[in-house]
Structure 1
Amino acid sequence: MESIRLVGADLAVGEPILPLLDASFGRFGERPAVSDPGGCLTFADLDAETRSLAAELRAAGVGAAEPVIIQTAASRWAIVAMLAVLRAGAQYVPVDRLFPRRRQEDVIVASGATCRIIESEHPDAGLRITGAAAGSSGASPRARPAGESPAYTLFTSGSTGTPKGVVVTHDGLGYSTRARIHYYPEAPSVYLLCSSVSFDSSVAGIYWSLATGAHLVIPGRNPLDAEAIVTAADRFRGSHLLLLPTLYEAVLDTAGPKQLTSLSTVIVAGEPCPPRLVGRHFARLPGAALYNEYGPTEGTVWTMVHRCRPADAGSSDVPIGRPIPGTTAYIDLDGERTGSRTGELRISGPGVAAGYATAAGGLAHFPDVEGARTYRTGDIVSLDAEDLVHFVGRRDTQLKIGGMRIELAEIEQAIVRRVGGRPAAVGIARRGSTVPSLVAFVACADARESLPDLRRLLRDDLPRGALPSRWEAVEELPRLPNGKLDRAAVDRMAADFLCRP
């Protein structure tokens, strides 16, 4: 198979995450480290709290690499628990207490963990350890685990409904953090955490902030609360934040004319960035840089990045850019697209996770290719004339109708452009037939009268076979707990819609 190879900037091999954090804690002492609506911990406080809790975990018999559930909402105590588990030589599995109870229990069962750290209902009461350690044998665990030991396991949101645990090592977490420090020209002074602790976008801000002496601010227990984000940005003079494009839209809608002016760096990730958002950003915050990051959980948060330009607002889509420092990307070209530079994205390097956790408590390793772990993302991308990578769609959402290949993401991007940037999604309904029907949902209840005109306009943008057969305006699109589109729910909506008389 022919491939295009893209190589990120050089990045020297470095240390695991703990030495990076230890150096920071030693330097920044009484500087604020992490704040939430209930209080603040300095770097010295954070160091003392994490070492004390790590000692309790060891005393409870938690062994090296053993999974430990951290069942909290976003708070300063969640950060204490994460670092304590790392210091104890174990691996943490974060479970957001605000998630649906079934989702929490599915992750806990899938993790195989018998020991939990639970945050008290009272915000000032701290943490408690419950359950027995599975591997207690009286032997002392390694105080400083080898770099290849698991640091954490994150369970992907998975539209299939089956959690899949991605195991990230100490080395991988250290690399991802150092790559972030190396790439971004300005370290944060105040970083606003706008993601659930159960999702990997939170990892970026937590460890970037702690490693550089920044003040990590948690706006509220609900990370998708746009009003809380705006309030925290004003109160703490936030400099950096990373959030979903849809959440950034909501933040811009919520903020007053003189708010958000302290921001110097805005990063969007987790879903395609619409060109309209780029235009809104530069119109509102012309002095702030905007970056579009891309990366599966299996790539330890990020793999590609693009610094947005005002010209991107007029493009059909916003690039995901080029590989981050130290990462190599391959585009395995599609033989059916003769002469094109489109294919599946494959990533390689120190940021690729160790593999997936198995039901038996083991690890299904990702393969090594030429001495580096490699992961096939399942994402279809293309390369433009500037050698910038663009996200096209998912391999598992590709369809063939009448012999023509159709990408759901391409259809959705075309609809979004025609409806002024409003969210849209396309569901697949088969109705017992091998030929699927496409149903388009537009998140704009007052757009119902204009939907026939929209379908006519799309004939100029898409092949006839790619035009949805039915259209529906809705109040909002279904989303997973992390704020991303719930594709399984969209498909169910499509099937229900087609069953209507």
Structure 2
Amino acid sequence: MTAFSIPARFAEQVARTPEATAVSDAARGTSLTYRELEHRANRLAHRLIGLGVGPEDPVAVLVERSAGLVVTLLAILKAGGAYLPVHEADPAERRQWIVDRARPSVLLVDDAMRAAGVPTGVPVVAVDDPGIAGEPTDDPGVPVHPDQLAYVIHTSGSTGQPKGVAVTQRDVVRLLSDPQWAVERHARVLLVAPYAFDVSTYEIWMPLLHGGQVVVAPPGRLEPPLLRELITTHRITGLHLTAGLFRVLAEEAPATLAGVDEVLTGGDVIAPTAVRRVLDACPDLVIRALYGATEGTVFSAHHVLTRDARPGKVVPIGDALTGIALHVLDEGLAPAPVDAVGEIYLAGEGVARGYLGQAGLTAERFVADPFGLPGSRMYRTGDMARRTADGTIEFVGREDSQVKILGFLVDLAEVEAALADHPGLAQVVVLAREREDGNKQLVGYVVPESGDLDLAAVRAYAKTKLPGYMAPEVFVRLDSLPLTANGKLDRDAMPEPDFKQVLASRAPETPLQHELCAIFSSLLEVPEVGIDDSFFDLGGQSLQAMRLCSRIGAAVGVGVSVNTLFDTPTVAELATYIEAKRAAYQPQTAS
């Protein structure tokens, strides 16, 4: 092994600080030292090797966020394999497709995920099997070359199917060894991103390869009060927040981040006003705006913001990380002139191997680098940008059908392909439309095969086929799709959706219902809300859900979590829940 593989770097750290805490599990109140993490991972690695896992074999993972997840991922790498995350929030059909396409040698699950149902057609091994405790604790000694795969993470694909991005050990170690990182600011990092998203690479391996501590957030959605508690209790020094969540915290509770040394944010356009609000509340905080792609190993460029270096009208993409070239090119692959819009290409270190089992798509997106060494490649991001006279790169938008929703890259073609299987639809087009609050929301334009169409049924169907952030909440029925003069689809002629449309609903009756309707109306900017109206049917999104829960708690004195809102999304259901909680808190009188 060399120091450019994750297992080798981790082994070096175990030798330096064997008794230091490596992982803390916030939900369970447990922790693992570096030595304990090493031994547990070695046991599971030996079991995987005994099952035939070898170099670069993909091993599927469907495990709840926990210390056991960290053990699992490390064990796979120690066995020489590459971990293949299967997202628990994905519909069963999508999870099965990923497993069928990648053909992993093993699927690792825990009790929590097994109970919810797992993909078929692959051997299943329980990571919490008591028999694993009998495996050897010594390192299995499998040579791991830096150019071996570390993981395969699936992103939204323009073919209508997910695409698995194959990233090597060398690329991960290179990212986390970049001199831009002030390692002391990332001594205790919060693991909160789903491990099926590439940001988890930073959250897990940054602290572990530098002697720090991974603090595992409890399963489920992270809400501002819980985030504040975790930051305070576990003395979090570094964490990543999507641009959308960062904006919510800036508007609702910017002091939540007090005490943190550095916050990373990105995944979408970062609001300068949000940065300024957070820096006003937390003047000692460093905010690092990041730009990147899964195909470029998470992060490729950064821009540091502090109380002395505040943003102007926009937050720029920033400077490329060490060893990375960030080009803004025209259609002929020549550098775009100053202030002209071109496409961003990533080159140099960090460019992924390609898409697992998709040679044609790999050749299309990973192209020869005319500026690099012979045989080197660039990744076409599809992001459009301009370079100003002073060298600043400013993001403009997407050149294809991919958009950012809640910080996640979504390919509209994949959403359309999923909806097209609905038996009542003749045609469907999905667009990302901007709401008045500046957030983008997916809108489905549908043409029925005949007669009427139950849009609520279409919406429910979408949620069974797609992850939550990819499923449109708003649908518009059309008699036919608008076309241009030459017969092409005219997306510009699609009617504006009515985000404020209110379906027939009962009026509020009790004081609590009146208060909840007023909160819904104010937050969603809907003139009238009935008690049968669902927060999500009115256009509410996940980030707005956190604001709603915060406002309800402040107004009625009963805490409501985002998970509760997903289970009880109407005013009537929320009122019933709150009244039940109040009754439970009411002291009993003696008879």
| Equivalent residue, structure 1, for 2:217 | 219
1:432 is the counterpart of 2:429: no
| Equivalent residue, structure 2, for 1:483 | none
The amino acid that maps onto 1:206 is I
Q: How many residues end up aligned between the 2 structures?
A: 418
The amino acid that maps onto 2:270 is C
Identify the match of residue 375 of structure 1 among 371, 376, 379.
379
Q: 85-94 or 100-109, which moves further after superposition?
A: 100-109
Check 1:340–1:260 CA distance in 2 against 1; reply closer, same or farther (3 A cut). closer
Please list the CA deviations of residues 376-432 of structure 1 after superposition, one character each: whole Å capped at 9, or x if unmatched.
111111112332222111110499xxxxxxxx9xxx99978xx5x652447586823
| Equivalent residue, structure 2, for 1:86 | 77
Identify the match of residue 260 of structure 2 among 263, 266, 272.
263
Identify the match of residue 108 of structure 1 among 99, 102, 106.
99
Aligned equivalents of 2:392, 2:3: Cα separation in 1: 28
| Equivalent residue, structure 2, for 1:35 | 24
Aligned equivalents of 1:398, 1:76: Cα separation in 2: 34
Check 1:185–1:221 CA distance in 2 against 1; reply closer, same or farther (3 A cut). closer
| Equivalent residue, structure 1, for 2:296 | 299
Deviation at 1:248, TM superposition (A): 2.3
Aligned equivalents of 1:442, 1:315: Cα separation in 2: 31
| Equivalent residue, structure 1, for 2:356 | 357
| Equivalent residue, structure 1, for 2:237 | 239
RMSD value over aligned CA atoms?
3.8
> In structure 1, the residue corresponding to 2:177 is in which secondary structure?
helix
Check 1:126–1:216 CA distance in 2 against 1; reply closer, same or farther (3 A cut). farther
Aligned equivalents of 1:241, 1:321: Cα separation in 2: 19
Please list the CA deviations of residues 429-479 of structure 1 after superposition, one character each: whole Å capped at 9, or x if unmatched.
682313223537779755357xxxxxxxxxxxxxxxxxxxxxxx9542489
Check 1:368–1:415 CA distance in 2 against 1; reply closer, same or farther (3 A cut). closer
1:281 is the counterpart of 2:278: yes
Aligned equivalents of 1:208, 1:65: Cα separation in 2: 22
The amino acid that maps onto 2:127 is L
The amino acid that maps onto 2:46 is A
The amino acid that maps onto 1:84 is A
1:385 is the counterpart of 2:389: yes
| Equivalent residue, structure 2, for 1:194 | 192
Check 1:20–1:102 CA distance in 2 against 1; reply closer, same or farther (3 A cut). same
Aligned equivalents of 1:367, 1:68: Cα separation in 2: 28
Percent identical across equivalent pairs?
Answer: 26
| Equivalent residue, structure 1, for 2:398 | 394
> In structure 2, the residue corresponding to 1:212 is in which secondary structure?
coil
Please list the CA deviations of residues 339-376 of structure 1 after superposition, one character each: whole Å capped at 9, or x if unmatched.
6342101111221111111169x987945532433211
> In structure 1, the residue corresponding to 2:326 is in which secondary structure?
strand
Identify the match of residue 95 of structure 1 among 81, 86, 105.
86
| Equivalent residue, structure 2, for 1:476 | 540
8 Å contact kept, 1:64–1:89:
yes
| Equivalent residue, structure 2, for 1:172 | 171
The amino acid that maps onto 2:525 is A
Aligned equivalents of 2:101, 2:145: Cα separation in 1: 25
Deviation at 1:225, TM superposition (A): 3.8
> In structure 1, the residue corresponding to 2:257 is in which secondary structure?
coil
Where does structure 2 lack aligned partners over 5 or more consecutive residues?
115-124, 130-139, 404-411, 413-430, 446-479, 484-488, 501-521, 528-536, 544-591
Where does structure 1 lack aligned partners over 5 or more consecutive residues?
1-12, 130-140, 400-407, 450-472, 480-501
| Equivalent residue, structure 2, for 1:447 | 525
The amino acid that maps onto 1:146 is H
Check 1:163–1:441 CA distance in 2 against 1; reply closer, same or farther (3 A cut). farther
The amino acid that maps onto 1:269 is G
Aligned equivalents of 1:363, 1:63: Cα separation in 2: 24
Aligned equivalents of 2:220, 2:62: Cα separation in 1: 15
Aligned equivalents of 2:498, 2:441: Cα separation in 1: 5
Q: TM-score by structure 1 length?
A: 0.74
Deviation at 1:31, TM superposition (A): 1.4
Aligned equivalents of 1:309, 1:442: Cα separation in 2: 36
Identify the match of residue 201 of structure 2 among 198, 203, 223.
203
| Equivalent residue, structure 2, for 1:146 | 145
Q: Which has the larger share of strand?
A: 1
Aligned equivalents of 1:220, 1:398: Cα separation in 2: 31
Aligned equivalents of 2:165, 2:190: Cα separation in 1: 25
Deviation at 1:299, TM superposition (A): 0.5
Aligned equivalents of 2:189, 2:218: Cα separation in 1: 13
Deviation at 1:14, TM superposition (A): 6.8
1:347 is the counterpart of 2:376: no
8 Å contact kept, 2:62–2:113:
no
Structure ID, larger Rg: 2
Check 1:84–1:426 CA distance in 2 against 1; reply closer, same or farther (3 A cut). closer
Please list the CA deviations of residues 255-291 of structure 1 after superposition, one character each: whole Å capped at 9, or x if unmatched.
585x532201011021111122112211221110011
Aligned equivalents of 1:317, 1:152: Cα separation in 2: 34
Q: TM-score by structure 2 length?
A: 0.63
| Equivalent residue, structure 2, for 1:460 | none
The amino acid that maps onto 2:86 is V
Aligned equivalents of 2:250, 2:57: Cα separation in 1: 42
The amino acid that maps onto 2:439 is P
Aligned equivalents of 1:14, 1:322: Cα separation in 2: 26
Aligned equivalents of 1:388, 1:339: Cα separation in 2: 10
8 Å contact kept, 1:230–1:251:
no
8 Å contact kept, 1:425–1:441:
no
| Equivalent residue, structure 2, for 1:326 | 323
Aligned equivalents of 1:440, 1:313: Cα separation in 2: 36
Please list the CA deviations of residues 72-118 of structure 1 after superposition, one character each: whole Å capped at 9, or x if unmatched.
12211111111111110111101132433233222222221141111
Aligned equivalents of 2:35, 2:192: Cα separation in 1: 24
8 Å contact kept, 2:288–2:305:
yes
